[in-house]
Homo-oligomer: A and B are copies of this chain.
Amino acid sequence: VITKSLTFLCDIGHTSANCFRNGESFKIDIDSFNPESFGDRVIYINVNQKFKNFPDHWIDLQPYVESDTEYKTLGIDRQVAIFGERNRVIVDFGSAVTIDVISDRHIGGYIMLGRDEVVRGFQRKTPHLKFKRKTILDLGEVPMVSEDALYYGFYHQTATFIESISKQHDLPITITGGYADEFLPLLKEAEIRKNLIFEKMELILQSTEIEL
């Protein structure tokens, strides 16, 4: 349930800040991101160490997040994403792909390079190879041309890993993040929740004195 309010919710990452108000999300490139430019109140979480001092109308949600994990140094964005979850694998497709495994409690997770970073890596190393789908291939169909080999090298490998974790722990999958929808054809059983992080921020707010 997303409440209507003048307050922004922001999730500040390494590549972009993702913000949300009144059912609408928007993305600001981290180089253009300036907290001063927000006229209204903002409730935020932040993993980006470049940003340390925020204006008074920015409220850090971090102190209110009670995290049920022994995972050391779990980023606040992942703590929020898994908040209140049980028996689920949660995958966030951002500048990193993060996987979190929650049974009765959070039992760990993985961090991989996200799509755009993989593309950049190839551009730097082999600029003649393009990261571009030529053929529509399902999981298990093997690419027969370099572009597909690169493209599905990312998509098939990532989807296979997620599915394997889900099967091994017998847990359903929730996907979120910027390009989660691109994984729906490969992870057919997965639930997609584009605004998971903001829904969880609202949920956490309910247990605080802070009003949205």
Sorting the interface of chain A by its residue count into under 10, 10 to 19, 20 to 34 or 35 or more gives: 35 or more
| Minimum C-beta distance from A142 to chain B (A) | 3
CB <8 Å contact, A72 and B146 = yes
Once bound together, how far apart are the Cα atoms of A14 and B123, in whole Å? 12
Which A residues contact B (CB, under 8 angstroms)? 14-15, 49, 70-74, 95-96, 98-99, 101, 107-113, 117-118, 120-122, 124-126, 128-129, 140, 142-146, 149-150, 152-154, 156-158, 160-161, 164-165, 168
Contact status of A157 and B150, CB under 8 A, knowing A107-B142, A118-B121: no
A161: chain B residues within 8 A (beta carbon): 156-157, 160-161
Q: A95-B125, A140-B168 are in contact. List 9 more A-B contacts (CB 8 A).
A: A14-B125, A15-B125, A72-B146, A96-B126, A107-B144, A109-B142, A110-B156, A117-B121, A164-B164
- Cβ contact of A129, chosen from B74, B111, B122, B168, cutoff 8 A: B111
Give A73's nearest chain B residue, CB to CB. B146
| Minimum C-beta distance from A92 to chain B (A) | 13
